[in-house]
Amino acid sequence: MNRISSQPSLVSLDDRRRPEPPALVLVAHGSRDPRTLNTVHDLLDQLRDRRPDLPVHLGHIELNEPLLPDTLASLGQAEAVLVPLLLSRGYHVKRDIPEMAAASPARTRVAAPLGPHPLLVDTLHARLVEAGWHAGVDEETRRESAVVLAAAGSRDPESAIDTHRTAQLLAERLGVPVVPAYASAATPTVETAIRALTARGRHKIAVASYFTAPGLFARQCAEKAPWIASAPLGTHPAMTDLILHRYDQALAIPATSAA
């Protein structure tokens, strides 16, 4: 399993306390499904457990409070790193979040989205195994097996590139074809991907849920699985590792301010 471990000490060698690090603002999309908000709060708790001296905040793009502009306003002119709880590039990552950050008084850096990254593949693999994916299968079973990577979908072509890269990484891990498919805004659909794989002689098809939390899209995609469907990424420890990794990466980017 990939693991990135970095927890800098806030105490220097001569026992003087270092300044508080820039806040980590986890930027969630927002959802009407209460399970999504519960998952996000659980991730926040994990982040605080891992980095007790790191200020951790939450901001939503829409649908849930606190909204990101309100969270940033509450920070005043403090430094903050915004980590999108999103799995690929797209409109929210490239437009919404930077524009909200630029309109705030806070000195901000915007981290990269979570995907693609090997830690996401660790999580996808673990969720598939939990659902019943066969580990160490024989060659005949491998020839019959495949995975549909079910994602939300976006009209942004870079989002599809990122999802396709995750599918490639997962295929390398599993040793079977992995086809990206989408719940909305992009093709192929999950049903189309399943039909195409079946036509190729792949009869044991799993649906890997490429969603950060439970919700309507995740449920609809899982219901189409002809065999097994994995749970969303959720609060797997690799997710916390990846959020902190994106935060640490972004610290190398100069902070920007609306001033």
User: Could you list the active site residues?
Assistant: 29
Bridge-partner residues for 150, per DSSP? 181, 209
Report the DSSP pairing between strands 56-60 and 79-84: unpaired
195 token code pair? 């039909």
Pair 185, 192: CB distance under 8 Å: no
Pair 173, 121: CB distance under 8 Å: yes
* Interatomic CA distance for residues 225 and 107, integer angstroms: 45
CB atoms within 10 A of CB 132: 11
